[in-house]
């Protein structure tokens, strides 16, 4: 079935450093969404990317959608302890409301 792969699954990041998490699909996506889930919490929407090559920024977070609309990345600069959590990408293949979530990238921030 249609699925998205996230790498890495786990990251330990020193506070103040940058990190990137990646999302890949074998088939073209209609759009991709990113969510963040804090420990013990529920997923919270971060952003949606729709256009090929799209880049969006939210303060220290930069989201990219690949030219072929098969991959995406989330880059966080100057990591803070509040960035701890699991980041999920969710691919939408045909514009409907059936999202295929990746398994997430669990991020631990080392003070």
b/e code 19-45 from CB counts within 10 Å (16+ = b):
bebbbbbeeebebbbbbbeeeeeebee
Q: How far apart are CA 17 and CA 37, in angstroms?
A: 20
**Residue 101 binds to another protein (criterion: CB under 8 A):** yes
* Site track for another protein across 18-57, x = CB under 8 A: ---------------x-x-----xxxxx--x---------
CA 45 to chain centre: 10
Residue 82 three-state SS: helix
Q: Rule CB under 8 A: which of 64-83 touch another protein? A: none
Q: Per the structure block, which two tokens stand in for 12? A: 């330990």
Q: How far is the CB of 11 from another protein (least distance, A)?
A: 16
For another protein, which stretch binds (CB under 8 A), given 12-20, 21-29, 71-79, 100-108?
A: 100-108
Q: Is 2:67 a contact under the CB 8 Å cutoff?
A: no
When asked if residue 1 is in the footprint of another protein (CB under 8 A), the reply is yes
Q: Which of 65, 74, 104, 109 binds another protein (CB under 8 A)?
A: 104
- Interacting residue ranges for another protein, rule: CB under 8 A: 1, 33, 35, 41-45, 48, 88, 90, 95-104
């Amino acid at each position: 079935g249609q699925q998205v792969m996230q790498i890495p699954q786990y990251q330990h990041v020193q506070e103040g450093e940058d990190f990137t998490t990646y999302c890949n699909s074998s088939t073209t996506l209609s759009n991709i969404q990113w969510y963040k889930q804090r420990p013990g919490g529920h997923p919270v929407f971060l952003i949606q990317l729709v256009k090929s090559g799209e880049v969006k920024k939210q303060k220290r977070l930069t989201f990219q959608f690949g030219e072929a609309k098969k991959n995406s990345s989330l880059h966080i600069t100057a990591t803070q302890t509040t960035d701890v959590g699991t980041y999920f990408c969710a691919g939408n293949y045909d514009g409907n409301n059936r999202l295929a979530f990746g398994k997430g990238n669990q991020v631990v921030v080392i003070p």
